[in-house]
Amino acid sequence: MKKHGIKIVSVILALTMVFSGFSIVGASAADAGTTLKNAGVGILGGIVKGLLSAINFVVPDNKNFVKMDDYKNDYFYSGTETMLDEPAANAVWSLGYAKASLVPTDWQSKTYYLGGFMSMQNGMSNKVEEVIDDMQARVIAVSDGSGRGVTIFANIDSIGFANGDIKTIRKYLQEMDLGVKINSVNVSSTHCHSCIDTQGLWTNTFSKLGKNMLKAYLPFTEMESGVDADYIEFLCRTVAAAMKTAIADMKEGTMTYAVKTLDAGYFNNKNRKSATAHMSDMTRFIFTPFDKSARPTMLVNIAAHPDIAGLAVNKVDNGRQLSGDYVYYMGDTIENAGYNFMFVNGAIAGIYAGRGLTNDGVSLERRYQQSERYGREMGNIALNLTNSYDAIASRADWDTINKEMAEGGEGYTLWFEGWTPTTERELKPLLNIYITTAMVQVTNPLILLVGKLNLANYAVIKDHHKYYINTEIGYMEMGDVKVALMPGEIVQDLVAGGASLTAEGSFSGKDFGYKTIRELFGEDTICFGLMNDAIGYVVPDNDYSLGIVDDHYQELISLGNVTASSIMKGFAEIAEKVN
């Protein structure tokens, strides 16, 4: 045992030296202006990678890993068969909506874990103890009347949902008698940090880590699943059933679109300093049925982490409270105004909900109340994008506002003070959608280890000595609105451009070398993020380091240093096909 331990230590040291050397070369070779700080981050990154690679070296592959030649991309939808330039003859929008709760009825008798945070303040235990509001799935089924099929979008209140589980939803949907042609089934996550764990990294983690580390070496044994398999089964069937309901609910009507740039104070930008893009737009689609007795549906897209309610800060708010965070309260506000509510997050990377403008200096006993205030303010903004100040003020609850102004004092900000409405336009009934895949090599040894130990539901593909994950990317046109469908948490520079893509602004001192989403498709292209896969952070290759410090923590939760280029190459290929 002693000799075996010495061998392991030797491997770790050797790999550390090798990877550290590579990092130093990369940092010093960039140009003469490479800073000592970057060199230090590079050295630390090499050490981290070396240690993790050494552990990977002695842990065998998961039995569920698939050889490249044996991999089958089942339950995949490629979108509309053609990309039309104009609406088809007699085309008309149709849309159906459904919503379902994902809170299990046995949450008080069975142990469930929240995904998103694990803190010393709650003893590293995030068991659900209280349900504050709800964890939901929201679904729309939409068609442009061209006969090319129905497009489905589902949004799940969760930290993330892997493509393998999304395929399970599609499988259950295919087993149903729907009566329509489906061209794509797209599932995104809100990335809420206070809902039941759907990725496996927060569910009794340390116990499963130890057990699976042992089982990795034992033949004829099955590792424990990172997630609660029964819960994922319940979730998949519930979402598939909601999709069927949305299809049955489809009605003809009109579609409008509005966009407004919000005050930057609504977004807490914790991105690395090199990532300079800041997309603070709120975009809004409204479907209005011709049937005046039917509810219209509003889809809202902003980019902000729903991470407020789940953070453990004291004995009361200890990270064990289930909440849909600000998304729930945004939806509740919009629904109370007579709409169905659909949400899709954007390119969120290090962008969080900035609560300074919504907490307003008033007394808030519980942390989720901050989520509520942020969500309700976002909901009111969404409802009033095209309304004038006078129209908003005439309907405002001035008794509550005056009371809160007195309490908050200088900390109070009236959300519609100085308000300028935006314009809204009707969209032609034209829906083009193109979905493809991007094969991403897993170069982050931590993520590979997570896969080997069965803690997350990734379909890992092995080709000789390299490992890959096949993720989905896509492009959509709703009328004249262009949308990039992107997996994971996207650094906004990859969409809108920024310093991290340049040699001068990046860690490596090299250019990224690939076009951004808006360079490929147009300056007004928006992002639907966390779509069809949860692959962690997507960081530009040239700004990637496992050095952890100096804003490089995101890389630990990323597939690796070629994720961004693999995805952006795929989008460049899409652009060639659709432009």
pLDDT at 21: 35
Write phi, then psi, for 367 (nearest 5 degrees): -65, -35
pLDDT tens sequence across 423-453: 999 999 999 999 999 999 999 999 999 999 9
pLDDT at 30: 40
Mutual angle of helices 36-58 and 2-29, in 10-degree steps: 150
Residue 7 has pLDDT above 80, yes or no: no
pLDDT at 553: 82
Residue 498 has pLDDT above 50, yes or no: yes
pLDDT at 123: 77
Q: Which of 469, 422, 492, 491 is nearest to 566 (CA)?
A: 469
The Cα–Cα gap between 378 and 507 comes to 35
What DSSP designation does 455 have? -
Q: Count, in order, helices (H) and strands (E) of the chain.
A: 14, 23
Residue 23 has pLDDT above 70, yes or no: no
pLDDT tens sequence across 529-552: 999 999 999 999 999 988 776 677
Write phi, then psi, for 368 (nearest 5 degrees): -65, -20
The mean pLDDT value for 122-134 works out to: 91
The Cα–Cα gap between 154 and 161 comes to 11
Domains in the chain: boundaries: 2-74+430-578
- pLDDT bin (cut points 50, 70, 90) of residue 241 is very high
pLDDT tens sequence across 501-520: 999 999 889 999 999 999 99
The residue ranges of DSSP E strands in 277-430, in sequence order, are 281-289, 297-302, 321-322, 340-345, 351-353, 424-427
pLDDT at 111: 96
- Tokens 């089958």 belong to 72
Q: Residue 437 class from Cβ within 10 Å (0-12 exposed, 13-18 middle, 19+ buried)?
A: middle
pLDDT at 15: 35
Q: Which amino acid is at 100?
A: A
Name the token pair of 253. Answer: 């009507």
**Taking a C-beta distance cutoff of 8 angstroms, is the pair 227, 200 a contact?**
yes
Residue 8 has pLDDT above 50, yes or no: no
Q: Which amino acid is at 21?
A: G
pLDDT tens sequence across 166-185: 999 999 999 999 999 999 99
Angstrom distances, CA of residue 532 to CA of 116, 243, 551: 19, 15, 27
**Better pLDDT: 25 or 43:** 43
The mean pLDDT value for 390-401 works out to: 97
Q: Are strands 537-538 and 489-490 parallel, antiparallel or unpaired?
A: parallel
The residue ranges of DSSP E strands in 290-430, in sequence order, are 297-302, 321-322, 340-345, 351-353, 424-427
Residue 12 has pLDDT above 60, yes or no: no
- pLDDT bin (cut points 50, 70, 90) of residue 81 is very high
The CA-CA-CA angle for residues 549, 20, 4, to 5°, reads 110
Mutual angle of helices 163-174 and 229-248, in 10-degree steps: 50
Q: Residue 65 class from Cβ within 10 Å (0-12 exposed, 13-18 middle, 19+ buried)?
A: middle
Give residue 79's region: left, alpha or beta (phi > 0; psi -120 to 50).
left
pLDDT at 344: 99
Secondary structure in 3-state letters for 498-516: CHHHCCCCCCCCCCCCCCC
- pLDDT bin (cut points 50, 70, 90) of residue 490 is very high
- pLDDT bin (cut points 50, 70, 90) of residue 469 is very high
- The percent of residues in the chain predicted with pLDDT above 90, rounded, is 79
Residue 4 has pLDDT above 50, yes or no: no
- Tokens 């003859």 belong to 89
Beta bridge partners, 137, equal: 100, 156
Write phi, then psi, for 101 (nearest 5 degrees): -80, 140
- The percent of residues in the chain predicted with pLDDT above 70, rounded, is 92
- Tokens 């034209």 belong to 430
- Tokens 């240093």 belong to 561
Stated pTM of the model: 0.92
Q: Which of 19-23, 135-139, 157-161 has the lowest mean pLDDT?
A: 19-23
pLDDT at 455: 87
Residue 22 has pLDDT above 50, yes or no: no
- pLDDT bin (cut points 50, 70, 90) of residue 39 is low
Handedness of CA 73, 75, 77, 81 (dihedral sign): positive
pLDDT tens sequence across 45-55: 788 888 888 88
First and final C-alpha spacing in the chain: 62
Residue 6 has pLDDT above 70, yes or no: no
The mean pLDDT value for 148-170 works out to: 98
Q: Give kind and range of the element (H or E) at residue 15.
A: helix 2-29
- pLDDT bin (cut points 50, 70, 90) of residue 13 is very low
pLDDT at 16: 37
CB atoms within 10 A of CB 117: 17
- Tokens 């994902």 belong to 102
The Cα–Cα gap between 287 and 153 comes to 14
Residue 326 has pLDDT above 60, yes or no: yes
**Taking a C-beta distance cutoff of 8 angstroms, is the pair 114, 104 a contact?**
no
- pLDDT bin (cut points 50, 70, 90) of residue 292 is very high
Beta bridge partners, 187, equal: 154
The Cα–Cα gap between 341 and 333 comes to 9
Q: What is the mean pLDDT of the chain?
A: 92
Q: Are strands 424-427 and 351-353 parallel, antiparallel or unpaired?
A: unpaired
Residue 27 has pLDDT above 80, yes or no: no
Name the token pair of 554. Answer: 């995101």
Mutual angle of helices 36-58 and 445-452, in 10-degree steps: 20
pLDDT tens sequence across 355-379: 999 999 999 999 999 999 999 999 9
Q: Are strands 93-101 and 424-427 parallel, antiparallel or unpaired?
A: unpaired
Write phi, then psi, for 144 (nearest 5 degrees): -100, 5
What DSSP designation does 235 have? H
Q: Which of 38-42, 185-189, 312-316, 421-425 has the lowest mean pLDDT?
A: 38-42
Enumerate residues 6+ apart whose C-beta is below 8 A from 129. Answer: 318, 320, 321
Angstrom distances, CA of residue 335 to CA of 190, 298, 538: 18, 9, 33
